[in-house]
């Protein structure tokens, strides 16, 4: 069921595509039947007024999901674009919190936002500079022209755009952005592992399997869920989920991520 059902706390959505001789609608009706029967068996109820059935696109976690991919919520983009110039660190933090939520739709977001995040450091002096204003406007402009993020189609050629650090595919000589990943953040995450004994131990144990590394009983029991790729630690909740990058418990770093 995990192949066509995604959940987040009490939100759930069912997605289907044509397969095994069935149309997308026929497959979707079958998937819905499975999900609803499972809910009935476990006495799980849904608010019918909040349900959406048979839609080509649905709102989910601040985004819109559809057959073409994921796009940013226009209302959130509008709120970001209409936000007045911040007059304090508190005001800037609120705006960045909203903009950061949509950072994956903006290439080189971390670099653009650097003058603004620097203003939030403990020892930062507030004066709003021309550099900060340029960064503020650049992020607004970038998000107002946000692309639709698509999943890679392995039957079509796709490329890795190293400069923007984004995956792209070419369906009809057009690039569809799959995701923007900020490479400077990767390096910061790698460096932060060294300050976290638990994570540093996991990275070392997985990077050098023949080396004896002291791990806690809990770490050993969950070691099979972790992996290291290019120095980044990944965690997989279960076999059906995509591995996720483990970010150290650093408030500033997590805010930037």
Express each pLDDT in 65-76 by its tens digit.
888 888 889 999
Average pLDDT (86-105) is: 90
Look at residues 133, 166, 171, 172 and name the one whose alpha carbon lies nearest to residue 147.
166
- Band (pLDDT 50/70/90 cuts) for residue 6 is confident
pLDDT at position 153 = 61
Looking at the predicted structure, is the pLDDT value of residue 124 above 50? yes
66 in Cβ contact with 150 (< 8 Å): no
Higher pLDDT, 248 or 253: 248
Q: Centre a 10 Å sphere on the Cβ of residue 125 and count the other Cβ atoms it contains.
A: 7
Q: Tell me the backbone φ, ψ of residue 110, rounded to 5 degrees.
A: -60, -40
Residue 152 confidence (pLDDT) above 80: no
**85 DSSP 8-state letter:** P
**Which of the four pLDDT bands, split at 50, 70 and 90, describes residue 168?**
very low
Tokens 């603004």 — which residue? 116
Task: Work out the mean pLDDT of the chain and round it to a whole number.
Answer: 81
pLDDT category at 163 given cuts 50, 70, 90 is very low
Q: Strands 5-8 and 176-180, how do they pair?
A: unpaired
What are 45's two structure tokens?
């109820």
Rounded percentage of the chain residues whose pLDDT exceeds 70: 82
Provide, rounded to the nearest whole percent, the portion of the chain with pLDDT above 90. 28
Locate 216 and state its tokens.
């806690």
Q: pTM of whole model > 0.85?
A: no
- Give the bridge partners for 58, in sequence order: 65
Distances (CA, A) of 24 to 12, 56, 129, 149: 19, 11, 53, 21
pLDDT score recorded for residue 207:
82
Q: Specify which of 26-35, 114-123, 155-164 reaches the highest per-range mean pLDDT.
A: 26-35
Judged against a pLDDT cut of 90, whether residue 179 lies above it is answered with no
Contact between 107 and 166 (Cβ < 8 Å): yes
Contacts of residue 169, defined as CB under 8 A and 6 or more positions apart, other chains included, come to: 150, 152, 153, 156, 157, 158, 159, 175, 176, 178
Flag the least confident range among 88-92, 94-98, 229-233: 229-233
Number of other residues whose CB lies within 10 A of the CB of residue 143:
21
CB distance 235 to 244 below 8 Å: yes
């Amino acid at each position: 069921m995990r192949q066509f059902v995604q959940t987040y706390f009490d939100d759930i959505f069912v997605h289907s595509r044509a397969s095994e001789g069935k149309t997308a609608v026929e497959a979707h009706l079958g998937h819905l039947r499975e999900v609803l029967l499972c809910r009935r068996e476990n006495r799980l109820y849904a608010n019918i007024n909040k349900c959406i059935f048979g839609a080509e696109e649905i709102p989910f976690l601040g985004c819109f999901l559809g057959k073409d991919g994921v796009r940013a919520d226009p209302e959130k983009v509008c709120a970001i674009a209409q936000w007045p110039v911040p007059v304090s660190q508190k005001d800037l933090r609120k705006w960045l919190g909203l903009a950061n939520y949509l950072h994956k739709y903006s290439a080189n977001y971390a670099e653009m936002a650097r003058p603004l995040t620097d203003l939030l450091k403990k020892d930062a002096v507030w004066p709003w500079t021309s550099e900060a204003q340029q960064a503020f406007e650049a992020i607004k402009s970038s998000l107002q022209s946000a692309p639709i993020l698509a999943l890679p189609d392995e039957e079509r050629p796709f490329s890795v755009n190293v400069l923007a650090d984004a995956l792209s595919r070419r369906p009809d000589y057009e690039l569809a952005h799959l995701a923007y990943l900020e490479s400077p953040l990767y390096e910061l995450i790698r460096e932060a592992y060294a300050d976290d004994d638990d994570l540093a131990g996991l990275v070392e144990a997985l990077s050098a399997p023949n080396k004896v590394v002291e791990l806690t009983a809990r770490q050993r029991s969950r070691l099979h869920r972790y992996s290291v790729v290019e120095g980044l630690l990944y965690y997989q909740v279960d076999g059906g989920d995509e591995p996720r990058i483990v970010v150290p418990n650093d408030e500033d770093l997590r805010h930037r991520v």
